[in-house]
Structure 1
Amino acid sequence: MSHIRLPKELEDFKQFVQNRPELVQRVRNKEYTWQQLYNIWTDEGHHSSFWDQFEQSLEEDKSTSAFPVKSDQIQGIVKKLADLDVDQVDKNLRQLSKALDQIQHLSHQFQQQKRRPPHRGNRFPF
């Protein structure tokens, strides 16, 4: 499978975004769309005053980040774990277990039918 190369302008925007993790968070929070940010980047350039609000967070991230995992990723995981309904997970696991038991039972029945020799009775009993 060949690797698809993005146009240079898109590669540059991608690198620009990777250096500003708050942009990803803002898109996830539906404050902006990628298209809106890309249009600002292409129309006004990367030196636009619009990007100044993200520069501060970039500096803060560099100074406080000792691990390669971003804090927004950790917060997302913690939030998902906090929202997790353990009773619902247990119920789903029990249902899955029952379904797997049924499939195993059916599979066992089909294997037994294959092992039985075919009935070779006389087609014309009279």
Structure 2
Amino acid sequence: MTTVKGDLHPSIQKFKEFVRQHPKMVHDVRNGKKSWQQFYEEWYLLGEQDGVWNRYKVNGEIVPPPVQEESEEKLGDFMGQMVSFFKKIDVEQVQQHLANMTTAIGSVQQVIQQFQGDQTTKQQRNSENNPFFFQKD
């Protein structure tokens, strides 16, 4: 919702205003019950006057949510998402991926060492075979 109103399609501007009048819609989206796309399609098909929308008003009044509570709620949602993410992690898979990465990094290091080793041996051979090679003191 950081875009300028002039940049949005008029129907989207109307829908955003409708959402401000029905703040409980935000909770359903954050809880995963519905998506904004689903709400928009219902709003577009049913219209603003349908009785379905009454449950999304706060006591039948048009009250925008306070900004401070929204930021605290976002932080709580973020922490909840992080906890659920860590619960879903399979430790054995992570360990296997780390082992694969370690093996790959070791292989790359070996290739780099081989190329560096070839360059130093070539320089030594060239210096030994060149009769005009003089080392600096």
Q: What is the TM-score with the length of structure 1 in the denominator?
A: 0.56
* Partner in structure 2 of residue 74 of structure 1: 79
Percent of aligned pairs with the same residue? 21
Say whether the 8 Å CA contact 1:13–1:38 is kept in structure 2: yes
* Partner in structure 1 of residue 118 of structure 2: 113
Q: 1:45 to 1:102 in 2, by over 3 A?
A: same
The Cα of 1:12 is off from its aligned counterpart by: 4.4
Say whether the 8 Å CA contact 2:29–2:35 is kept in structure 1: no
User: SS of 2:72's equivalent?
Assistant: coil
> Which residue, 79, 101, 105 being the options, matches 1:100?
105
User: SS of 2:57's equivalent?
Assistant: helix
* Partner in structure 2 of residue 40 of structure 1: 42
Q: 1:70 to 1:46 in 2, by over 3 A?
A: farther
Letter of the 1:10 counterpart: I
Structure 1: 5+ residue runs without aligned partners?
Answer: 121-126
Matched, 1:87 2:65: no
CA distance in 2, matches of 1:69, 1:25: 9
Q: 1:69 to 1:112 in 2, by over 3 A?
A: same
1:9-41 Cα offsets, whole Å, 9 max, x none, are 224435638x53224246x45xx4544321222
CA distance in 2, matches of 1:74, 1:51: 30
CA distance in 1, matches of 2:30, 2:91: 28
1:54-112 Cα offsets, whole Å, 9 max, x none, are 335xx8x86xx471525443322211211222232122112211111111221222333
* Partner in structure 2 of residue 124 of structure 1: none
Structure 2: 5+ residue runs without aligned partners?
Answer: 127-137
Larger Rg, first or second structure (1 or 2)? 2
Q: 1:106 to 1:6 in 2, by over 3 A?
A: farther
> Which residue, 6, 9, 22 being the options, matches 1:7?
9
